[in-house]
Structure 1
């Protein structure tokens, strides 16, 4: 005998409480979704048996703290995606005309979530005889016939998903790992398809202090932020039978700050070693605070401890000399100054050239004291390449006519050409290219303005940044730069018939500040140029 949830004469389950988030949604569910889950839902345990869904402590805390828009630093092995999918299913099988969108970072993960939803419905029918009918069911959509509710599916690799329909509930899973050139723009297209009182679930394991997940979690946006450290779950401990551990200083700090037991520290040690052997990093997979987890990573280029120090060292600029407005299509930018130019000091300025439009990379110029290596100012904005040349020269003149350079590839050609041929800036960087590279008597025509970025030169300059951070010579207050550095990862690539590591940044992470700083490391090695030489073309020096 089946139960028709939509036509029952009396309420079968507790109704939504007036003060809960569910009462604020545009679709106000027929029954309290969490109570419906706890009463009826089944789930497959790790031993493959189908058992009643009994929420973990973390899952219950999550549901009790829900807002209309939610962003969650996703801990491992506590079923955050499972509880979210269960709540969405509970709403969809009891409330009419609900449209839900499920998006993940990969097609196979989206398919796994679709299987989870299908199993929830299957077990509601098998164990409770609810007679829920699934109509259309494919990789793009699943229909709940009884309530005329729909689940739509997609991955971040398919642009434009969710833009053509009104969505009441959105699950964006592993947002920090979304593929594509602009995950933030894709997410914005989805959320704009929702009413203001729709329900948004964004969740992810961290992946660097950059990108839309990090920005949303650390912004003042109207999102309820959820963070659950690993030690909330009471099962995460190993019995020591009265023995006590000899704690490291870091472990002692955790015990003191969070009142942890030695049994919990024993579990932490065991899990840390296990993950390390599997190529993963405990602080990223099982976060202990909601800042260092964004920086931690086994394949991170820069050590997490260093990056945390740099983030703490970053401070507000002494002043912002700009914003300088751009042309009607050019939004302009800002100059941040941490140290004014000192008389007779030598400075180097390295620039990475963007496209001059709001959705593209910034144009970024970094100013460093050539003697101390201190990063003293940053100029960045969405200028056209030619306008960026004007602003770069203005800053270079401010900093004692410092040695100025931009990348000469692609859009950089316009910036380099304007600096040298139009503005005729006298202290511009030239390098040897072609057959004259390494020659004792180079040809004059082989001196070329600007810095030519190639895979070899990029790798060389990246390694210089790593050397500075390792040896304590990195001194920057620029939070934009430091956040980009946290996203840098080693990628295994084939090199000369073998395997090696290449430093890369995820496709969606802007690398303009990082590239500028890397180029500045090269400029730091250039010879001192006296005032009498500044009036001469670089090739004459």
Structure 2
């Protein structure tokens, strides 16, 4: 429906028409507010497609990873202003990255829309106090609602919150980010509506961690509670303005760029038109290395790593397209092995987010006609940020069928491994073939595992002892500077062949942040983890090294008794 031109109406006609529409929030959002455009000219605010999609799909708590210049900050601030104007006793807060930004947001996104309301309508919103300046501002209305722009909120609660460019806050002002996490976010109660939005500013920090946790929850297809953060990602290719005319000869792009677009389409299940490709090629020529961060195509691509990536970005993105939600999420007791379906994992991380840690993610239930290998990476200690992790992969093609990551002491982790290994075993050949890493706390896991699992189904490294000149088996996989390239190269080969088998987005995420450091060693970038990646690579190595299943032919099988025929 085409809206009439309000500015062409008489004042009385305008009043009558607007009053008839004021009960419709989305009409108000699209027709009531004036803002300054890039040239400083007053224009009527209209929701862009990406902004409209956000509000259509929003949850109570929303974390938004975005490309540049999609206008989310303006749209969210207009939303909060509208909430303060048309609701009683609602406290709205906007947190800016610094004092300069706070002043600019207050002036352009609060004062300008409010002061340019029709005079008769503005007069209905009686102001009790109003303070504004270069460092932010505050308006309190007689009906009890308020809106404030500042760099932090140290006390009290807010019912509507917007944290603007949180990635920049985390990168530039880590103490302020901590204050937001421990203060403002902890004051959010069920039923409140909050938005955290930003372009990415590298890996590590609260925004990166919160984004990945909410992405994992989204990919696990779990129900959200009112205190869960819903993940939203808005790529450059979702905005209609990012297009360019295509020459008559076709899109001018390199082979690598063509492969990149194909990988994006697979990872995001989208179609990128020639006009979009042409725009991207031209923009990338100017942006260079910053293109992926400022105009990301996928969520994982947005967070740039420092250092050379171990795994090729394009093949990693293609593998991302094969990820899928687990069939079942189990809460598995490590002592008894009892499994219960976990609809809503209740474990909270250090940021207060619900986590899938200590849950068994299952894509396929055990198949008696399939053999399975298990790889396990053991955390260095409960007080450390690292987690223990294990993966179950199918012998036939290496596909990921189950995954677990979390924190357990070595003895309980060993029992959990034993229960899962036996579950994915067969009556004829025994439990799955397990290869726990034996570095650090891995020794304790292996000692405990021997009491709960057949030693013949635990990987044993054989080597020649030079002093005694005899063979000495050592249980478990030892990750060293010499052995790590073996498992890494194995996964590289699978990924290049399009056969990584990875189904869990957390495994792919760690592959994207696995880098060469200055000494040439391969490790997770600072602020990131590699436990889920390591357990998966070890599982694939166990798959290659596990004993082959012996299948008896019809001629060698023991003949049945004649009475059984």
Instruction: Specify the TM-score bucket, using the shorter chain as the normaliser.
Output: 0.5 to 0.7
**Is there any run of 5+ residues in structure 1 with no aligned partner, and where?**
1-10, 23-31, 155-160, 532-541
Q: Deviation of residue 198 (structure 1)?
A: 3.3
**Which residue does the alignment assign to 1:520?**
539
Aligned residue for 2:77? 85
Question: Quick one: distance in 2 between partners of 1:428 and 1:281?
Answer: 43
Of the three residues 148, 151, 162, the one matched with 1:150 is 148
Give the Cα–Cα distance (whole angstroms) in 2 for the partners of residues 446 and 101 of structure 1.
66
Alpha-carbon displacement from aligned partner over 1:307-359 (angstroms, at most 9, x marks no partner): 44564375756x8898447589999754744553559x6x64321235999x9
Query: Counterparts of 1:444 and 1:136 in 2: how far apart (Å)?
Result: 80
Alignment check: 8 A CA contact 1:484 1:510 kept: no
The alignment partner of 2:518 has SS state of strand
Match of 2:560 in 1: none
Q: Per-residue displacement from partner, 1:276-333 (whole Å, max 9, x unpaired)?
A: x234338x8254xxxx55467775635445544564375756x889844758999975
Give, in whole Å, the separation in 2 of the partners of 1:372 and 1:233.
39
TM-score by length of 2: 0.60
The 5-angstrom pairing of residues 46-125 of structure 1 reads 50-52=40-42, 55=45, 57-58=48-49, 61=52, 65=56, 69=60, 70-88=62-80, 99-102=91-94, 109-111=97-99, 113-120=101-108, 124=112
| Inter-CA distance 235–426: structure 2 relative to 1 (3 Å threshold) | closer
Decide whether the 8 Å contact of 1:325 with 1:333 is kept in 2: no
Q: Within 5 Å, which residues of 2 pair with 1:54-453? A: 55=45, 57-58=48-49, 61=52, 65=56, 69=60, 70-88=62-80, 99-102=91-94, 109-111=97-99, 113-120=101-108, 124=112, 133-134=130-131, 143-144=138-139, 149-154=147-152, 165-173=156-164, 193-205=187-199, 211-215=212-216, 219=221, 220-221=223-224, 230=236, 235-239=241-245, 243=248, 245=250, 264-275=276-287, 277-281=288-292, 285=295, 287=297, 292-294=298-300, 301-304=311-314, 307-309=317-319, 311-312=321-322, 314=324, 323-324=332-333, 333-334=359-360, 336=362, 337=364, 340=367, 342=369, 348-353=373-378, 363-368=388-393, 373=398, 375=400, 377-378=402-403, 383-397=408-422, 398=425, 400-401=430-431, 403-409=433-439, 411-420=441-450, 425-429=455-459, 440-441=466-467, 449-453=475-479
Question: SS of the counterpart of 1:494?
Answer: coil
What is the rounded CA distance, in whole Å, between the counterparts of 1:442 and 1:341 in structure 2?
A: 43
Alignment RMSD? 5.8
Report the Cα offset of residue 77 of structure 1: 1.8
Q: Distance in 2 between matches of 1:96 and 1:335?
A: 44
How far does the alpha carbon of each residue in 1:71-130 deviate from its partner, in whole angstroms, 9 at most, with x for none? 5452322322233235445766998875444468xxxx4556424324438974999799
Q: Distance in 1 between matches of 2:377 and 2:365?
A: 20
CA contact (8 A) 2:393 2:539 kept: yes
1:74 and 1:89 map into 2 onto residues whose CA distance is 22
Question: Cα distance 1:311–1:285, how it changes in 2: closer, same or farther (>3 A)?
Answer: same
User: Shift of residue 211 of structure 1?
Assistant: 1.5
Between the aligned partners of 2:491 and 2:402, the Cα distance in structure 1 is: 17
Distance 1:455 1:355, change over 3 A: closer
Give, in angstroms, the shift of residue 418 of structure 1: 1.0
Residue 470 of structure 1 is matched in structure 2 by: 496
Q: What is the CA–CA distance in structure 1 between the aligned matches of 2:110 and 2:402, rounded to whole Å?
A: 61
How far residue 37 of structure 1 moved from its aligned partner, in angstroms, is 3.8
Conserved 8 A contact 1:365-1:380: yes
- Distance 1:136-1:308 versus aligned 2 partners, 3 A rule: same
Query: Does the Cα contact within 8 Å between 2:92 and 2:159 map onto a contact in 1?
Result: yes
After superposing the two structures, state which structure 1 stretch, 231-240 or 264-273, moved more: 231-240
CA offset at residue 501 of structure 1?
7.8
Q: Are residues 441 and 112 of structure 1, via their aligned partners in 2, closer, same or farther at CA, if it must alter by over 3 Å?
A: farther
Counterpart-to-counterpart distance in 2, 1:133 and 1:239: 48
Contact 2:523/2:530 (CA < 8 Å) preserved in 1? no
CA shift at 1:514, angstroms? 1.7
Gaps of 5+ in 2: 1-14, 339-345, 348-356, 551-565
* Cα 1:20–1:305 shift into 2, 3 Å: farther
Distance 1:265 1:451 in 2: 45
User: Is the CA contact 1:142–1:152 (under 8 Å) kept in the aligned structure 2?
Assistant: yes
Distance, in Å, in 2 between the alignment partners of 1:422 and 1:126 is: 69
Using structure 1 for the length normalisation, give the TM-score: 0.62
Aligned residues: 467
